[in-house]
């Protein structure tokens, strides 16, 4: 029973972070949110007794993919539109 | 003329594909029952491996694993080929924020333990969850930490290629030894030992160590290439 509740909570959190990643205009925050989605997904894999997949998801989904996206953002632009960046201090070079 | 050649080669390909698919024989009991019982009993009795996933990935489906490693190798090579001309010299990497002293000391402290965890995961691939891919990815994460923290930290590309090629050759040669002595690719040729011991499972441990080195070298190469791309 507790596993069902835990799984459902994690799934809801996954959906929430996915929606946040879509709605967020700041691409850096969106990438971090998709990394958090991968983290929850790896916990779900662990609960569903697939520890091999959970390890892969934690290493690739949370660390490597996020970092490669962040490098891509650093080398391109951080915002989808120009007028979104008025609230945040620009950190582009 | 070109179209005729394309049509002829497509026809030959289609003919042999249909021939192969007709020869498989869908619907025979071997297919309807599945191979799960065979895998479970074989990995417990014949191979003496407690992690059935590892037994399937490395031994029963080892040829697919070779294909996956090859895909990763091709992706890494293609990325290096695309980004090769734009690479910085070593030490000239541009960083957005220089890392603070805390991050530098922490990274120096964490790096050996991350590499040790990765090595543990792929050496114990046949006993506990994890394996070559997971361990290699964890080691690559450790190198990523060092590359992000230290501005002039560099990895020797020649050494990475050396490790990668050596691991790939080891994988294929173990497979070929199995082919020539037992009759099928990646057949087990070593003694299997007892269950739940480190030296058990025959060739599985050696293959996973090779896969771990290969994946770690490839992913580190990918990260290194991407980080050194000039913008």
Choose among A60, A37, A9, A49: nearest CA to B118: A60
Radius of gyration of chain A (CA): 16
How far is residue A78 from each of residues A32, A38, A61, B141, measured CA to CA in Å? 13, 21, 21, 24
Choose among B43, B38, B41: nearest CA to B188: B43
Are B144 and A67 within 8 A, CB to CB?
Answer: yes
Burial of B177 (0-12, 13-18, 19+ CB in 10 A): middle
Probe site for chain A from B134, B143, B147, B218 (most A CB atoms < 10 A): B134
Confidence of residue A39 (pLDDT cuts 50, 70, 90): very high
Higher pLDDT, B28 or B140: B140
pLDDT at position A93: 44
- Determine the distance from the C-alpha atom of residue B13 to the mean position of all C-alpha atoms in its chain, rounded to a whole number: 30
pLDDT at position B112: 95
- Give the closest of A55, A59, A64 to B129, CB-based: A55
A74 has a chain B CB within 8 A of its CB: yes
Section B204-211 average pLDDT: 90
pLDDT digits (tens, 9 = 90+) for B214-228: 999 999 988 888 887
B130 has a chain A CB within 8 A of its CB: yes
Q: Searching chain B, which residue's CA lies closest to the CA of residue A76?
A: B231
B107 has a chain A CB within 8 A of its CB: no
Q: Do B136 and B172 contact (CB within 8 A), yes or no?
A: no
Query: Over 80: is that where the pLDDT of B93 sits?
Result: no
Q: Which two tokens stand for residue B7?
A: 């049509």
Section B105-120 average pLDDT: 94
Probe site for chain A from B87, B141, B144, B146 (most A CB atoms < 10 A): B141
Query: Among residues of chain A, what percentage have pLDDT more than 90?
Result: 44
Query: Among residues of chain B, what percentage have pLDDT more than 70?
Result: 90
Query: Over 80: is that where the pLDDT of B91 sits?
Result: no
CA B190 to chain A, closest CA, distance in angstroms equals 25
B110 has a chain A CB within 8 A of its CB: no
pLDDT at position B92: 55
Which residues in A lie closer than 8 A to residue B96 (C-beta atoms)?
74, 91, 93
B205 has a chain A CB within 8 A of its CB: no
Query: Over 80: is that where the pLDDT of B94 sits?
Result: no
CA A37 to chain B, closest CA, distance in angstroms equals 19
Q: Do A26 and A87 contact (CB within 8 A), yes or no?
A: no
Probe site for chain B from A59, A77, A90 (most B CB atoms < 10 A): A59
Are B137 and A91 within 8 A, CB to CB?
Answer: no
In terms of average pLDDT, the best of B1-15, B35-49, B180-194 is B1-15
Confidence of residue B39 (pLDDT cuts 50, 70, 90): confident
pLDDT digits (tens, 9 = 90+) for B144-194: 899 888 878 888 888 888 999 999 999 989 888 988 888 888 888 888 888
Could you state, in order of their start, the residue ranges of all structural domains in chain A? 2-83
Are A63 and B219 within 8 A, CB to CB?
Answer: no
Query: Over 80: is that where the pLDDT of A26 sits?
Result: yes
Radius of gyration of chain B (CA): 22
> What does pTM read for this prediction?
0.80
B129 has a chain A CB within 8 A of its CB: yes
How far is residue A43 from each of residues A47, A56, A61, A86, measured CA to CA in Å? 6, 12, 12, 37
Question: What 3-state class would DSSP assign to A79?
Answer: strand
- Give the closest of A59, A91, A93 to B137, CB-based: A59
Query: Over 50: is that where the pLDDT of A20 sits?
Result: yes
Query: Over 90: is that where the pLDDT of A5 sits?
Result: yes
């Amino acid at each position: 029973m507790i596993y069902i509740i835990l799984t459902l909570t994690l799934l809801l959190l996954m959906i929430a972070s996915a929606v946040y990643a879509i709605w967020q205009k700041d691409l850096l925050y969106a990438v971090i949110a998709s990394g958090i989605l991968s983290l929850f997904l790896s916990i779900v894999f662990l609960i569903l007794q697939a520890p091999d997949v959970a390890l892969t998801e934690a290493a690739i989904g949370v660390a490597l993919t996020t970092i490669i996206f962040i490098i891509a953002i650093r080398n391109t632009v951080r915002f989808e539109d120009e007028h979104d960046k008025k609230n945040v201090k620009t950190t582009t070079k | 003329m070109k179209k005729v050649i394309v049509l002829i080669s497509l026809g030959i390909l289609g003919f042999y594909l249909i021939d192969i698919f007709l020869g498989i024989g869908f619907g025979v009991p071997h297919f309807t029952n599945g191979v799960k019982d065979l895998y479970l009993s074989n990995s417990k009795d014949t191979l003496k491996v407690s992690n059935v996933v590892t037994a399937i990935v490395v031994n029963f489906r080892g040829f697919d694993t070779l294909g996956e490693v090859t895909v990763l190798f091709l992706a890494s090579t293609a990325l290096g080929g695309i980004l090769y001309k734009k690479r910085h010299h070593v030490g000239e990497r541009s960083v957005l924020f220089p890392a603070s002293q805390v991050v530098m000391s922490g990274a120096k402290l964490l790096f050996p333990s991350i590499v040790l965890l990765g090595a543990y995961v792929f050496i114990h691939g046949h006993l506990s969850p994890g394996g070559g891919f997971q361990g290699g990815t964890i080691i690559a994460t450790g190198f990523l930490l060092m590359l992000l923290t230290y501005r002039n930290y560099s990895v020797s590309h020649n050494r990475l290629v050396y490790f990668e090629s050596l691991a790939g050759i080891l994988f294929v040669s173990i497979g070929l030894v199995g082919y020539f002595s037992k009759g099928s690719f990646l057949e087990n040729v070593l003694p299997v030992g007892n269950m739940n011991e480190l030296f058990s499972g025959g060739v599985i441990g050696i293959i996973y160590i090779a896969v771990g080195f290969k994946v770690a070298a490839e992913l580190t190469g990918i990260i290194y290439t991407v980080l050194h791309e000039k913008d």
